[in-house]
């Protein structure tokens, strides 16, 4: 993993999560980033309490996506829990 | 459209419409939880529409949400088929109750208060209030507390999901056994402090690669009063095999849920089952309904709740519908877990004696030799003195023939005390670990190695399990170098 891009992406994810009204908007915000090539919202919930949605992001030139765990809050807001690699 | 007409529709259509009605944004309802023990910032989950899920069903636009929910319930499609969850006091199957022993709830440290009387109280919320549940929801009057589930795989090891525990939050996680309903109305929210454990080390963890998601944590002390599970050691669960899960859905008191099967067994690192699980079930063991071995760890799956008007109800899908619940296969981490197939030989220490057979000095009990000292009568006599001093009555091995570890027990416990002049080397059980050092598996205490297992990681992990389980603090020898007897004591 490119640590520098992962760290930068963490900030981007956190900001997008704070700004977006829902997960669709969050994905759109990420797609608008010049360094982002592709965004995919996973079709499942991670079963923590509260649950999380995984958002996979392929950076331009990157081989593997980075995955952000987005915690779904009750008021419709979202918070970033963490970022990890996906094989 | 009448209720009877609604019942004739495809349940997926009803569900699609209900999901589309879920509010995009709502006011905060009550305090919230943060996932994974990061902090105690209060939050409550609300399931969100995801990309591609937003469209409603035009034909149902004017149908009241309550009618949609009633139609779904009427076709007995609550969760996956019927809701199979039971509180543990309702479970009568002895094997299932035994399986439940191992299950633990993961809680933020800040949610636990010591009462200074040997008990601790877990901070809880009312489930129905916290989640704004409709009055029809089961368990709505019960308390909720934790953020994940886990299970004992060895007295000192808990397995859970990787997204529940990492090195950043481990210090803030507490592992609480015994959070369950005593009866229909009373939850055990105050538990003996001895039932609460900390994690001191992550033994292994993986997330992401082809859907894998697991973590094995070493606890601060062994759990000696509860059963640990048996894991599948080879092969994989059969297609359509019956499975059940035990855990803490939404942080509720421990629940059993069965009536499920493996419905997609193709993925390499996980399988998919129609288990009735919720957020908070992450890390729950998924048991084979026939063997009661653990087949997987529950990690992710279908949406839990949908809105019915202004309150939430459980998501409802057909038993063969929805996306299913993903369970990481135990084969992903089983190599880290000792088999615990004990090689213990009981003997009567009062009948132990030093004898010479074919020119070799030995310790024998009733004609069976315990130890061989070659030409050293002095070492044989010293060993007999040690056995009788500690009243050792069980000889134990790891890795016979050619055991990599040998130790002795006294009525199932570690020998304790000391013997003048014994060759003993102390170590710190909190520091001992299995490590691969210069091409060999060893048990080390900091920079010192205690035992060498060559290429056998399995034997090393089994040996460490015994060291932790019995609380050994000293490794002792007779006749170094090339000791003729090795034993451990507190």
Q: What is the pLDDT of residue A9?
A: 74
Query: Across the interface, do B43 and A84 touch by the CB < 8 Å criterion?
Result: no
| Mean local confidence (pLDDT), B280-303 | 96
Interface test with B, best of A22, A42, A49, A83 (most B CBs within 10 A): A49
**Residue that has been written with the tokens 């996973």 in this structure:** A42
Q: Residue B203 class from Cβ within 10 Å (0-12 exposed, 13-18 middle, 19+ buried)?
A: buried
pLDDT reading at B284 higher than 70: yes
Q: Residue A36 class from Cβ within 10 Å (0-12 exposed, 13-18 middle, 19+ buried)?
A: middle
Find the range with the poorest average confidence among B14-28, B231-245, B434-448: B14-28
The rounded distance, in Å, linking the Cα atoms of B124 and B126 is: 7
Q: What is the pLDDT of residue B29?
A: 30
| Nearest CB to B45; choose among A24, A72, A85 | A72
Q: Residue B327 class from Cβ within 10 Å (0-12 exposed, 13-18 middle, 19+ buried)?
A: buried
Q: What is the pLDDT of residue B33?
A: 35
* CB contact at 8 A, B5 and B41: no
Q: What is the pLDDT of residue B21?
A: 64
Q: What is the pLDDT of residue B462?
A: 98
The crossing angle, in degrees rounded to 10, of helices B11-20 and B65-74 is: 150
* CB contact at 8 A, B275 and B296: no
Task: Give which of B425, B417, B422, B433 is closest to B467, Cα–Cα.
Answer: B433
Query: Across the interface, do A24 and B33 touch by the CB < 8 Å criterion?
Result: no
Q: What is the pLDDT of residue B473?
A: 97
Report the gap between the CA of B216 and the closest CA in chain A (Å). Answer: 17
| Mean local confidence (pLDDT), B266-292 | 96
Greatest mean pLDDT range, A6-20, B64-78, B475-489: B475-489
The rounded distance, in Å, linking the Cα atoms of A28 and A8 is: 18
Q: Residue B190 class from Cβ within 10 Å (0-12 exposed, 13-18 middle, 19+ buried)?
A: middle
How many angstroms separate the Cα of B406 from the Cα of each of B137, B396, B489? 56, 6, 12
Residues in B touching A84 (Cβ below 8 Å)? 207-208
* CB contact at 8 A, B297 and B327: yes
Q: For residue A62, is it left (φ>0), alpha (ψ between -120 and 50) or beta?
A: beta
Q: Does A48 touch chain B (CB under 8 A)?
A: yes
pLDDT reading at B335 higher than 90: yes
pLDDT reading at B5 higher than 90: no
SS3 B450: strand
Q: What is the pLDDT of residue B337?
A: 98
- Tens-place pLDDT, residues B30-40: 333 334 443 33
Q: Does A41 touch chain B (CB under 8 A)?
A: yes
Task: Give which of A56, A17, A57 is closest to A35, Cα–Cα.
Answer: A57
Q: What is the pLDDT of residue B37?
A: 41
Kind plus residue range of the DSSP H or E element containing B345: strand B343-346
Residues in B touching A27 (Cβ below 8 Å)? 51
Report the gap between the CA of B148 and the closest CA in chain A (Å). Answer: 6
- Tens-place pLDDT, residues B314-329: 887 877 788 899 999 9
> Cβ of B168: how many Cβ atoms within 10 Å?
11
* CB contact at 8 A, B304 and B315: yes
The rounded distance, in Å, linking the Cα atoms of B165 and B216 is: 9
Task: Give Cα B165 distance to the centre of its chain.
Answer: 12
The pTM of this model reads 0.84
Find the range with the poorest average confidence among B14-23, B204-213, B365-374, B390-399: B14-23
Cis bond before residue A14 (omega within 30° of 0) = no
Positive or negative, the CA dihedral B355, B360, B366, B370 is positive
Q: Does A63 touch chain B (CB under 8 A)?
A: no
Q: What is the pLDDT of residue A6?
A: 56
| Spatial CB neighbours of B8, under 8 Å, sequence gap ≥ 6 | none
Strands B325-329 and B270-273: antiparallel
- Tens-place pLDDT, residues B415-450: 999 899 999 999 999 999 999 999 999 999 998 999
| Spatial CB neighbours of A20, under 8 Å, sequence gap ≥ 6 | A26, A28, A29, A78
Q: What is the pLDDT of residue B371?
A: 97
For chain A, give me the number of helices (H) and strands (E)?
Answer: 2, 4
The rounded distance, in Å, linking the Cα atoms of B189 and B12 is: 38
Report the gap between the CA of B183 and the closest CA in chain A (Å). Answer: 24
> Which residues of chain A register pLDDT less than 50?
1-4
- Could you tell me what percent of chain B has a pLDDT over 70? 88
Strands B305-308 and B311-314: antiparallel
| Nearest CB to B35; choose among A27, A52, A86 | A52
CB contacts < 8 A, A to B, total 143
Higher per-residue pLDDT: B265 or B312: B265
């Amino acid at each position: 993993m490119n640590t520098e891009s992962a760290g930068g992406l963490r900030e981007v994810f956190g900001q997008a999560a704070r700004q977006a009204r829902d997960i669709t908007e969050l994905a759109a915000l990420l797609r608008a980033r010049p360094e982002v090539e592709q965004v995919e919202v996973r079709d499942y919930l991670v079963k923590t309490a509260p649950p999380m949605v995984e958002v996979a992001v392929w950076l331009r030139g990157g081989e593997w996506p980075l995955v952000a765990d987005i915690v779904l809050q009750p008021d419709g807001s979202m918070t970033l829990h963490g970022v990890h690699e996906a094989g | 459209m009448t209720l009877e007409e609604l019942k004739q529709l495809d349940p997926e259509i009803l569900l699609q419409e209900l999901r589309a009605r879920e509010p995009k944004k709502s006011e905060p309802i009550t305090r919230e939880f943060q996932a994974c023990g990061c902090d105690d910032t209060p939050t409550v989950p609300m399931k969100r529409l995801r990309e591609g899920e937003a469209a409603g069903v035009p034909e149902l636009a004017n149908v009241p949400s309550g009618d949609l929910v009633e139609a779904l319930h009427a076709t007995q499609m609550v969760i996956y088929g019927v809701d199979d969850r039971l509180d543990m006091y309702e479970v009568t199957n002895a094997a299932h109750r035994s399986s439940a022993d191992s299950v633990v709830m993961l809680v933020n440290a800040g949610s636990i208060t010591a009462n200074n009387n040997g008990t601790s109280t877990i901070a809880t919320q009312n489930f129905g209030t916290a989640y704004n549940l409709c009055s029809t929801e089961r368990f709505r009057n019960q308390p909720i507390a934790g953020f994940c589930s886990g299970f004992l795989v060895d007295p000192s090891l808990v397995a859970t999901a990787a997204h529940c525990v990492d090195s950043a939050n481990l210090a803030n996680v507490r592992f609480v056994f015994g959070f369950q309903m005593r009866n229909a109305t009373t939850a055990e929210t105050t538990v003996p402090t001895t039932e609460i454990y900390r994690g001191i080390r992550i033994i292994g963890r993986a997330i992401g690669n082809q859907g894998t998601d697991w973590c094995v944590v070493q606890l601060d002390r062994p759990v000696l009063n509860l059963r640990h599970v048996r894991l599948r050691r080879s092969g994989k669960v059969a297609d359509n095999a019956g499975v059940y899960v035990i855990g803490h859905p939404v942080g509720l008191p421990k629940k059993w849920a069965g009536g499920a099967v493996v419905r997609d067994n193709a993925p390499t690192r996980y399988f998919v089952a129609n288990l009735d699980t919720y957020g908070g079930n992450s890390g729950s063991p998924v048991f084979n309904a026939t063997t009661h071995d653990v087949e997987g760890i529950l990690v992710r799956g279908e949406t839990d709740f949908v809105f019915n008007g202004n309150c939430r109800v459980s998501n409802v899908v057909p038993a063969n519908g929805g996306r299913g619940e993903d369970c990481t296969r135990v084969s992903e981490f089983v190599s880290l877990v000792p088999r615990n197939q004990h090689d213990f030989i009981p003997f009567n220490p009062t009948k132990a004696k030093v004898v010479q057979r074919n020119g070799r000095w030995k310790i024998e009990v009733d004609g069976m030799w315990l130890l061989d000292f070659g030409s050293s009568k002095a070492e044989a006599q010293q060993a007999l003195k040690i056995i009788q001093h500690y009243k050792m009555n069980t000889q134990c091995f790891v890795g016979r023939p050619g055991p990599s570890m040998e130790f002795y027990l006294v009525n199932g416990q570690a020998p304790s005390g000391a013997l003048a002049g014994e060759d003993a080397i102390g170590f710190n059980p909190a520091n001992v670990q299995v490590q691969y050092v210069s091409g060999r598996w060893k048990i080390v205490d900091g920079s010192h190695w205690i035992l060498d297992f060559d290429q056998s990681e399995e034997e090393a992990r089994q040996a460490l399990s015994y060291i932790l389980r019995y609380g050994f603090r000293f490794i002792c020898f007779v006749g170094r170098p090339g000791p003729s007897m090795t034993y451990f004591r507190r």
